[in-house]
Amino acid sequence: MSSELAARFHDAIENQEPRLRTLAAQGRRILGYFCTYTPVELIHASGFVPVRVMGGVRTLTKADTLAPSFLCPYMRAALDKALSGEYGFLSGIVQGYTCDAACGAVRIWERNIPGEIYHTIALPYCDSPSSRRFLLSEIDALTVKLRAIGGTFSEQSLADAIELYGKIRRLILKLYQIRYDERLSIQASDFLAIIQAGFMTPPEDYLRMLEDSAPITGPSVASERGGTRVLVSGSLVEDPKILDLIEESGGLIVADDLCTGIRNFEPVSGFGLDPIQRLIDRYMNRAPCPCRSRVSDRAPFIEHLLERSGAQGVIFLFQKYCTPHLADHPSLVEHFKAKEIPSIAVEMEETGVNEGQLRTRLEAFFEMLR
Amino acid sequence: MYFVGIDVGSLSTETVILDHAGAVVSYHISSTGANSRTAGEKSFAAALASGGIAQSEVNFTVATGYGRVSIPFADKTVTEITCHARGAVHLFPATQTIIDVGGQDSKVISVSQDGKVADFSMNDKCAAGTGRFLEVMARALEIGLDRMGPLSMRSTRDISISSMCTVFAESEVISLVARATPKEDILNAIHQSICNRLAPLMDAVGIRMEVTMTGGVAKNTGIVEKIREKVGGRINVPEEPQIVGALGAALIARDMSAHAQ
Ligand code: SF4
Ligand code: SF4
């Protein structure tokens, strides 16, 4: 498998704006979301195309006065994009209530960018019968709101959406397995592109893209790529350059704990008697993120990924000021230190990273692991 | 047969040449200037000349420092973190922690029993509290870098510099001078502020005795004293702390050449 495979996914990212604009002009309605904890199946089942809002690397020109610098670069850059009209194809935002930054940002969008719906779904922290009942009421409330703007939710459409997303997740998880087995020959930045393309492509089309990429589903050969095996952990990684830097400095990314990664795909779906119960079950059992889980749940999850992939160390990639992830960091480091798992942390800003210094830190980290 | 280590830092470039037994036969320190490649070449040539060594007698060269990739004749590049650890442990075998304050970055490195890097932390945002900071302050106070340490020891009053940013700290120093604050007290405060900037790095890695200080800033006795107070124990300072990175690189060159054979 080469980066030829990734080319169409890169293309989907580069041309997202014109494509989605055309789609919107044809009458499809597109709803944005920030967090991977947003139940996209429900949005899709209501007849909308869910698209994950991204920020990208940019110098802010419009958002500075509205978004204080203590918001994460992701939220600031995304707002800047929206204020510059680059998200004109969106009919609104539906957001899972996760961190304060995202929740605050939804309100800033609502006040400044016209849209039909701005909605936040509160998500429970822990799994219990009462929290499941609570999530059910949140889902009902969203369905009603979506219906008010023309949503066409039905049990059948939800069942279909669950199946569609399930297929996508299964294919991507297969790709992960290939990566763990060291049979993946594309670099981490291409892997990221494959995943990111899914955020901005209608899921039916994305599924076709994945199915057409034979190497994902077909047999693959042992990879010749070398380097010290590492896992990257954090929230969003939007700038592929940071992943390239890691791999150019002597690392080989074999696993991730990112929300531009595994956090989207596990579990594939949930269990239950009807589609709504299955949806609830999946979102109650989501791969842990510090916004909704304790370190005691997340550390074993990461350790499991380390074992599965044979990664020797962890590279934390932080969005600057991302409070949930930064707050988890000291406990995670302590936990890993006790198990002699080395780690290093890198902070990312809107304008990217300080390359020279970062190369030195990364190279030294890999020299240490060797 | 000789082994060479070249450390191209942001402010200065050092070359160390070792003989087959690992003894230093020659070294050279110069300022880097705008072009790290030229700086590396000049430093290398000067060290060869002062040792009376021909380039053909050099067996293996390791380049380190921020300009390490711009040395075309190096056989290998290794980061300054690994090199400082190697050099410091060579000079003081009981070293467990290394504090290296260089031209524009500072690092705290912890080494394991076998002398390998076990953990490290490095300033990654700004260059306040490094050699460059000290240079700016020396200029603002109109005194030589080498006089800063001894003079600061005569301070009788604790004052503090609150700005983290080099530019703001400089104007703070200028206004202290304008208010006729004794230079020794200002220097004492500057050294304290550098030590404060190092504290989070020390905390992140943890200080284990013995501690060895490397990098040009270790020549400043005032700063060494502040760090000694902070860690609560003796600090090893090499005779020429500025060449420890290049020394480590040369030692690694010697190891690598042995491996290659
Ligand atoms: S880090 Fe967590 S809360 Fe933030 S967007 Fe990702 S999954 Fe959502
Ligand atoms: S979890 Fe972090 S990165 Fe994600 S939106 Fe919140 S602050 Fe930003």
State the distance between the two ends of chain B, measured CA to CA, in whole angstroms.
Answer: 13
Q: What is the least distance, in Å, from the CA of A298 to any CA of chain B?
A: 22
- Cα(B125)–Cα(B121) distance, rounded to whole angstroms? 12
CA distances from B90 to A123, B22, B62 (A): 56, 10, 17
Identify whether residues B194 and B260 lie together within a single domain: no
Q: Of B92, B35, B91, B26, nearest to B67 (Cα)?
A: B35
Q: What percent of chain B stands above pLDDT 90?
A: 48
Q: Cα separation of A79 and A62, whole Å?
A: 8
What pLDDT digit, counting tens, does each position of A290-345 carry?
Answer: 988 889 999 999 999 999 999 999 999 999 999 999 999 999 999 999 999 999 99
Quick one: average pLDDT of B136-141? 83
Candidates A332, A337, A361, partner chain B, best to mutate (most B CBs within 10 A) = A361
Q: In whole angstroms, what is the distance from residue B250 CA to residue B27 CA?
A: 11
Same domain, B219 and B185: yes
| Interatomic CA distance for residues B127 and A282, integer angstroms | 47
Q: CB atoms < 10 A from the CB of A131, how many? A: 15
Tokens of B146: 């080498």
**CA A35 to centroid of ligand 2, rounded, Å:** 8
- pLDDT for residue A125 is more than 90: no
Closest approach of A320 to chain B, Cα-based (Å) = 12
One domain for residues B157 and B195: yes
By the 8 A CB rule, do A360 and B79 touch? yes
What pLDDT shows up at residue A355?
A: 84
Reported CATH class of domain A8-154: alpha beta
Q: How far apart are CA B140 and CA B142, in angstroms?
A: 6
Q: Best residue in B81, B100, B116, B130 to probe A by mutation, most A CBs within 10 Å?
A: B81
pLDDT in tens, B70-104: 999 889 999 999 999 999 999 999 999 999 998 88
ipTM of the complex: 0.85
- Residue A31 confidence (pLDDT): 97
- Same domain for B111 and B210: yes
Sheet strands (E) in chain A: 29-33, 48-52, 90-97, 117-122, 228-234, 251-257, 313-319, 343-348
> B207: domain range?
94-237
User: Using one digit for the tens of pLDDT, what is the confidence trace for A332-349?
Assistant: 999 999 999 999 999 988
- For residue B210, the surrounding DSSP H or E stretch is none
Query: Residue whose CA is closest, atom 7 of ligand 2?
Result: A322
CB of A253 less than 8 A from some CB of B:
no
Of B66, B81, B125, the CB nearest to A364: B81
Q: Do B155 and B122 fall into the same domain?
A: yes
Specify the CATH number for the domain of residue B51: 3.30.420.40
The string of DSSP letters for A87-131 reads: TTTEEEEEEEE-SHHHHHHHHHHHHHS--SEEEEEE--SS--HHH
- Token pair listed for A211: 């199915």
The model's confidence at residue A4, banded by pLDDT at 50, 70 and 90, is: confident
Band of residue A362 on the pLDDT scale cut at 50, 70, 90: very high
Residues B87 and B199 in one domain: no
Range name among A293-297, B1-5, B130-134, B164-168 with the lowest pLDDT average: B164-168
Mean pLDDT calculated for residue range A42-61: 94
Q: What is the mean pLDDT of chain B?
A: 89
Q: What is the pLDDT of residues B190-242, one digit of tens each?
A: 888 888 888 889 998 989 999 999 998 888 888 899 899 888 889 999 999 99
Question: Are B81 and A367 in contact (CB < 8 Å)?
Answer: yes
pLDDT > 70 in chain B, percent = 99
B86 and B5 co-located in one domain:
yes
Domain shared by B135 and B228, yes or no: yes
A325 lines ligand 2 (CB under 6 A): yes
Number of domains in chain B: 2
Residues B139 and B168 in one domain: yes
Check whether residue B108 and residue B84 sit in a common domain.
no
pLDDT tens by residue, B238-254: 999 999 999 999 999 99
Which pLDDT band holds residue A219 (cuts at 50, 70, 90)? Answer: low
b/e B40-73 (16+ beta carbons within 10 angstroms → b): bbbbbebbbeebebeeeebbbbbbbbbbbebbee
Percent residues over pLDDT 90 in chain A: 79
pLDDT of residue A353: 77
What's the confidence (pLDDT) of residue A218? Answer: 52
Instruction: Quote the pLDDT of residue B145.
Output: 83
Q: In chain A, where are the structural domains located?
A: 8-154
**Contact partners, residue A11, CB within 8 Å, separation at least 6:** none
